[in-house]
Amino acid sequence: MTTKNNNDQFPKVQGGGSLILAWQVRNKHVLVVGGGEVAAGRILNVLNADAKVTVVSPSSGLNPEVRHRIANDEVTHIDRVFQPSDLETLPPSDGPPDMVLVAVDDPAASTQIWKLCKEHRIPANIADVPPECDFYFGSVHRDGPLQIMVSTNGKGPRLAASIRKWIGNQLPAGVGDAIERVGELRSKLRRIAPNPEDGPKRMRWMTRVSDAYSWDEMCGLTDEDMENLLTFYPPSKVPQLDMLKAMRGGWTPEEIDVFDGSFGFSVVA
């Protein structure tokens, strides 16, 4: 017999949510059924994630944005209605799609495609029909590598968009650029400390670096600054920004300590 532990130190389970993930669809094959406004938004979402997209829709149902994608060879277009065989072989890969997005004004046809996707074990999203979705499209704020998604589990898309706009307005300018610089620094760090056993130290040092500098300061780091910053990794130190600026031009920390200002040398470039 077990006794329930009501210890409040552990978070309580809140059912009814969705598992929000960053789904990597780079080079995956996505089938979009439909060519209207909703389909255009879906197409842009997956193209932004570097997916390979095939659009199945009669030309008469294409809106201007989807026509633009087709004309610029950003997607593959099949000029007809959906066929069940599309879930088995589809250009350009001539194989089954990895994901299906349905955006057509035909509830019966949409449900049929959903059922077929279940039979083929292909994840699918049926626009505006939450019960027939393996996943939802939230409202996303994008700033370079930064992506923030707001989801209402399909219950209030308009409200999600309003919340997303509010969050975006609260973020400081240059956040995306700062994250880009952090990413570059991490890549450089992996090159000088590539071994798996270096992982914990890398993570601790990058955490300290991220906490040490503001968004604006991170954006302002030059390539030379980052190379100089990496010299502090072996002893697990993080210098002040003034030190990094003073090291520009080939100065070493030891030289800067000697010329500390009493001889007319300024440590702030």
Is residue 92 pLDDT above 90, yes or no? no
Confidence of residue 3 (pLDDT cuts 50, 70, 90): low
Each residue's pLDDT tens digit, 65-84: 999 999 999 999 999 999 99
The whole-number pLDDT of residue 257 equals 67
| pTM reported for the whole predicted model | 0.76
Q: Which two tokens stand for residue 52?
A: 């390979």
The mean predicted confidence, pLDDT, of the chain is 90
pLDDT, residue 130, reads 86
- pLDDT confidence of residue 187: 94
pLDDT at 216: 86
Starting at the edge strand found earlier in the chain, the sheet holding 99-102 runs 76-78, 52-56, 29-33, 99-102, 124-126
In order of their start, the domains of the chain are: 29-137 (3.40.50.720), 138-171 (3.30.160), 180-258 (no CATH)
- Whether 5 shows a pLDDT value over 80: the answer reads no
The pLDDT tens digits for 245-269 are 999 998 988 888 655 444 444 444 3
Instruction: Tell me the percentage of the chain whose pLDDT exceeds 90.
Output: 70
Residues annotated as part of the active site? 128
Token duo for residue 257: 């300590």
pLDDT given for residue 153 in this prediction: 81
The 8 Å CB, 24+ separation contacts for 161-168 are: 163/139, 164/138, 164/139, 164/140, 165/141, 167/141, 168/141, 168/143
The span from the CA of 43 to the CA of 32, in Å, is 7
- Per residue, the 3-state secondary structure of the chain, as one string, reads CCCCCCCCCCCCCCCCCCCCCCCCCCCCEEEEECCCHHHHHHHHHHHHCCCEEEEECCHHHCCHHHHHHHHCCCCEEECCCCCHHHHCCECCCCECCCEEEECCCCHHHHHHHHHHHHHHCCCEEECCCHHHECCCCCEEEEECCEEEEECCCCCCHHHHHHHHHHHHHHCCCCHHHHHHHHHHHHHHHHHHCCCHHHHHHHHHHHHHHHHHCCHHHHHCCCHHHHHHHHCCCCCCCCCCHHHHHHCCCCCCHHHHHHCCCCCCCCCCC
Residue 24 has pLDDT above 70, yes or no: yes
Confidence at residue 263, expressed as pLDDT on a 0 to 100 scale = 40
Q: Quick one: pLDDT at residue 269? A: 39
pLDDT at 6: 63
Segment 204-258, tens digit of pLDDT: 999 999 999 988 888 888 999 999 999 999 999 999 999 999 999 989 888 886 5
pLDDT tens digits for range 110-167: 999 999 999 999 999 999 898 999 998 888 899 989 999 998 887 888 899 999 999 9
Partnered with residue 133 across adjacent β-strands are: 125
C-alpha span between 75 and 206 (Å, rounded): 39
Q: What is the pLDDT of residues 32-57, one digit of tens each?
A: 999 999 999 999 999 999 999 999 99
- Residue 48 in contact with residue 74, Cβ under 8 Å? no
